[in-house]
Chains A and B, each alone.
Chain A
Amino acid sequence: NAGVTQTPKFQVLKTGQSMTLQCAQDMNHNSMYWYRQDPGMGLRLIYYSASEGTTDKGEVPNGYNVSRLNKREFSLRLESAAPSQTSVYFCASSAGLGETQYFGPGTRLLVL
């Protein structure tokens, strides 16, 4: 039982490049989330998906897009990476919007 998995674990990009962060959960959860963690800032919600087929903006959505591919998978895309997007990105899932969230191991992204 893997829980929440994220790929890649680490990525270096040049400014302007694009990439997609992948997230999958095997807990049959309905809701999924993307957070970023920056030093001294805690975790901030980028986007979330309450259920398959729906996505909504969180606290810091600018510069990102998401796709809820199916119930298991929720991807985060950076169309044109900027140094300000250097961060650690965490995906999480929960049974529903009122339930405990379970986090993946994170993706460390460096934008030069």
Chain B
Amino acid sequence: DQQVKQNSPSLSVQEGRISILNCDYTNSMFDYFLWYKKYPAEGPTFLISISSIKDKNEDGRFTVFLNKSAKHLSLHIVPSQPGDSAVYFCAASAVPGGGNKLTFGTGTQLKVEL
């Protein structure tokens, strides 16, 4: 049972345009959400997070939106750059800050083309 779903295995975007990565979850107890970025042959690196008391969190070019009623979150990257090409994992937890119960999605491969 996949509690965190990333239904798009891949996404291709032109440099300078917006990238939108989507994530859906089924567990209504999840209240903290994170995005990780992963390059080949490297471990995932933390990108941005959001708690359920917010519906938006920004960090530079990265913005995460949370729609609790729809159990949906999205990561917006504006403008997209070639260095953003990587696999992006959505993760969720029922413990504030993630803790030991981090549940990951299957990832979306983003390719930013020149």
Query: What's the interface size class on B, roughly?
Result: 20 to 34
Q: Are A101 and B89 in contact (CB under 8 A)?
A: no
Asked if A105 meets B43 with Cβ closer than 8 Å, knowing A42-B89, A42-B104, the reply is yes
Q: Are A92 and B43 in contact (CB under 8 A)?
A: yes
> Which A residue sits closest to B34, measured CB to CB?
A100
Which parts of A61-112 form the interface with B (CB within 8 Å)? Answer: 90, 92, 94, 97-106
Q: Are A98 and B104 in contact (CB under 8 A)?
A: no
Between A and B, 23 residue pairs with Cβ closer than 8 Å are A42-B105, A43-B44, A44-B104, A45-B102, A56-B100, A90-B43, A94-B98, A97-B95, A97-B99, A98-B95, A98-B97, A98-B98, A98-B99, A99-B97, A101-B98, A101-B102, A102-B45, A102-B46, A103-B36, A104-B43, A105-B41, A106-B41, A106-B42
> Which A residue sits closest to B46, measured CB to CB?
A100
